[in-house]
A and B are shown apart, each in its own frame.
Chain A
């Protein structure tokens, strides 16, 4: 079946540091890939997406590139802020049975300190 593997957290960074959160996937066919973010005490919201190989999703300074050759969709940000502290979930959507099934990774907690 389909699966998503994320790096273990928590990840602790100083403000203005470079962020990478690794995400790799296993899927048949051509999945679409997503990053979701959950800020403390809030619901999950879509951060960015990519629907085909070599697409780059971007939002709020975050970027991720769909790499089919390495089955990866790593999340990056050049300079993190304290307000980026949250849990980040990588996800894929792939056709299963009659419809699209969404599969999530376990989430990576990011803590940004001053």
Chain B
């Protein structure tokens, strides 16, 4: 099974800061995703990527960008953090045939 590692478990950032969330997988899977999970709103897709330098917008891309320069790493960037981006951020990697594995999540608080 793929192992998905998110660099930080908890982060506290100030409004207006540029924030980087990192996600690394230990296999060669093409597909990687960023979601946010909020109470009562479920899992909402921000961006996904199906290969190096390839990305597609999800359902709520506003205020976010992504980078995938290497196959194993998928970064989520908050260009100018705002309080409404306080959330649990979840990275996912895998292939449909094998299933997709979640990272342990990054709980971001923007103050």
Which residues of A line the B interface, CB within 8 A? 32, 34, 36, 43-46, 49, 51, 89, 93, 96-107
Contacts and interface: CB of A to CB of B under 8 A. Distances in A.
B27 interface: no
24 contacts: A32-B96, A43-B102, A43-B103, A43-B104, A44-B90, A45-B102, A46-B100, A49-B99, A51-B96, A89-B42, A93-B100, A97-B50, A98-B50, A99-B31, A99-B50, A99-B56, A100-B50, A101-B58, A102-B33, A102-B100, A103-B45, A106-B42, A107-B42, A107-B43
Interface of B: 30-31, 33, 35, 42-43, 45, 48-51, 54, 56, 58, 90, 92, 96-97, 99-105
Contacts, number: 59
A98 B90 contact: no
Contacts of A101: 45, 48, 56, 58
A82 to B, nearest CB: 23
B98 to A, nearest CB: 9
A4 to B, nearest CB: 10
